[in-house]
Amino acid sequence: MTFLELAKKRHSCRKFCTKKVEEEKLMQILEAARVAPTAVNKQPARLLVIQGADGLAKLGKTADVYNAPLVILVCGEPEKAWERPFDKKNVLDVDLAIVTDHMMLTATDLGLNSLWVCYFDPAVLKKEFNIPANYVVLNALAIGYGNGTPASPDRHDEKRKPLESFVFYETM
Ligand SMILES: Cc1cc2nc3c(=O)[nH]c(=O)nc-3n(C[C@H](O)[C@H](O)[C@H](O)COP(=O)(O)O)c2cc1C
């Protein structure tokens, strides 16, 4: 499978079966996070792996992960991320998005399904999981084995904008 075929195969899964994610696969997913690029190699991400029933129940207080058996909370330390000097832009969110995407696509490569979730109250998660106050809680990546019909890799013909509507050449 080429990378583009993998990227097109990945889809948001909102129906998981109860089968657990194998430890070996989890470690490969975490390794993909480890090697992700970050600005100035600052590596500001802090990951919280949630698989236990208690943890998943706590997560369920504020996030819908559709009964996925594994969730990786992608957090980060803003003070550790690079700040662009010209406009003081802190790139933590960019770094964390790349880490999340690396893990998500690795999950696809391993035959797993996933859902990227941002709809939650970070304050609830900070309290439930003892996450330090200065951390940003940005993404929850739900991972497991899908229990439904996978979305078609050809759906992007309709579901995505055509290139000419957002790509510009030489000048905007
Ligand atoms: C940053 C981000 C946040 C998202 N948050 C949620 C979410 O909270 N709940 C959800 O069901 N899907 C969420 N999604 C999934 C998107 O809705 C989905 O990726 C998009 O509709 C395209 O569909 P596809 O992933 O199947 O190609 C999120 C995706 C991204 C990239």
How many domains does one find in the chain? 1
Pick from 8, 9, 12 the residue to mutate for probing ligand 1's pocket: most ligand atoms within 8 Å of its CB: 12
Q: Which atom of ligand 1 is nearest to the CA of 14?
A: 11
Cα of 23 vs centre of ligand 1, distance in Å, is: 25
* Atom 12 (ligand 1) nearest CA: 117
Query: Which residues approach ligand 1 with their CB closer than 6 A?
Result: 11-12, 115-119, 151
Residue 6 located in a structural domain? no
Residue 172 located in a structural domain? no
Residue 94: which CATH number?
Answer: 3.40.109.10
Cα of 74 vs centre of ligand 1, distance in Å, is: 15
pTM for this structure?
0.98
* Atom 20 (ligand 1) nearest CA: 12
- Contacts of residues 83-89 at CB distance under 8 Å and 24 or more positions apart, as own/partner, are none
pLDDT score at 87: 98
Residue 157 located in a structural domain? no
* Atom 11 (ligand 1) nearest CA: 117
pLDDT score at 50: 98
Cα of 9 vs centre of ligand 1, distance in Å, is: 15
Residue 161 located in a structural domain? no
How do beta strands 113-117 and 83-84 pair?
Answer: unpaired
Cα of 117 vs centre of ligand 1, distance in Å, is: 6
Residue 22 located in a structural domain? yes
Residue 111 located in a structural domain? yes
CA–CA gap between residue 122 and residue 24 (Å, rounded) = 29
Q: What is the pLDDT along the chain (172 residues), one digit of tens a residue?
A: 999 999 999 999 999 999 999 999 999 999 999 999 999 999 999 999 999 999 999 999 999 999 999 999 999 999 999 999 999 999 999 999 999 999 999 999 999 999 999 999 999 999 999 999 999 999 999 999 999 899 999 999 999 999 999 999 999 9
Residue 142 located in a structural domain? yes
Cα of 72 vs centre of ligand 1, distance in Å, is: 15
- Contacts of residues 116-125 at CB distance under 8 Å and 24 or more positions apart, as own/partner, are 116/12, 116/140, 116/141, 116/142, 117/63, 117/64, 117/65, 117/141, 117/142, 119/63, 119/64, 120/59, 120/62, 120/63, 121/62, 124/61, 124/62, 125/59, 125/62, 125/63, 125/73
Residue 163 located in a structural domain? no
Q: Name the residue range of residue 28's domain.
A: 11-147
pLDDT score at 57: 98
Are 132 and 48 contacting, i.e. CB atoms less than 8 angstroms apart?
Answer: no
Cα of 170 vs centre of ligand 1, distance in Å, is: 31
pLDDT score at 148: 87
